[in-house]
Copies of this chain bind each other. A is one copy, B any other.
Amino acid sequence: MIRIDLDSPEPLEDQLCKTLRSAIALREVEQGDMLPSVRQMASDLGIHWNTVARAYRRLQDSGLLSVRRGRGVFVKPIREAAEVDAQTTAKVSESIQETITNARLSGISLSAFRELALSEIKTWEARVS
């Protein structure tokens, strides 16, 4: 479930953050779950446990994890915002624009992209019920 690619040029810490964020968003780990200790997770992934500690701390800083020395690392509840602020919306929009750019430059038409996006959203709706 939590996977990283040791041969990728992308920093291990970034990869780990990304896969953890995905697991949390998809509820593959539930609110309140304790994650493996930094040493255990590092051992599983074949990387240094300090890198895991740094990734955990970053996710703590962004409010996704609760990290307590001596206790462990726990998944915080996903906040469901009734009102989303403009800055967040702008960031997501920018991310969408970047994805469209990549698709267009790969030769994918806008209509094909729309179908792809709607299909992905459907998949998510099914997975998070």
A contact residues vs B (CB 8 Å cutoff): 18, 21-22, 24-26, 62, 64, 78-81, 84, 88-89, 91-93, 95-110, 112-114, 116-118, 120-121, 124-125, 128
11 sampled A-B residue pairs with Cβ under 8 A: A21-B101, A21-B102, A22-B98, A78-B107, A80-B109, A81-B106, A88-B107, A93-B116, A96-B116, A96-B120, A117-B121
A105 touches B78 (CB 8 A): yes
Chain B: CB-nearest residue to A80: B107
Return A125 CB to nearest CB of chain B, in Å.
Answer: 6
Report how many copies the assembly holds.
2
A120 to B80, CA, bound (A): 23
B-side contacts of A79, CB under 8 Å: 107
B-side contacts of A118, CB under 8 Å: 114
A107 touches B81 (CB 8 A): yes
Chain B: CB-nearest residue to A88: B106
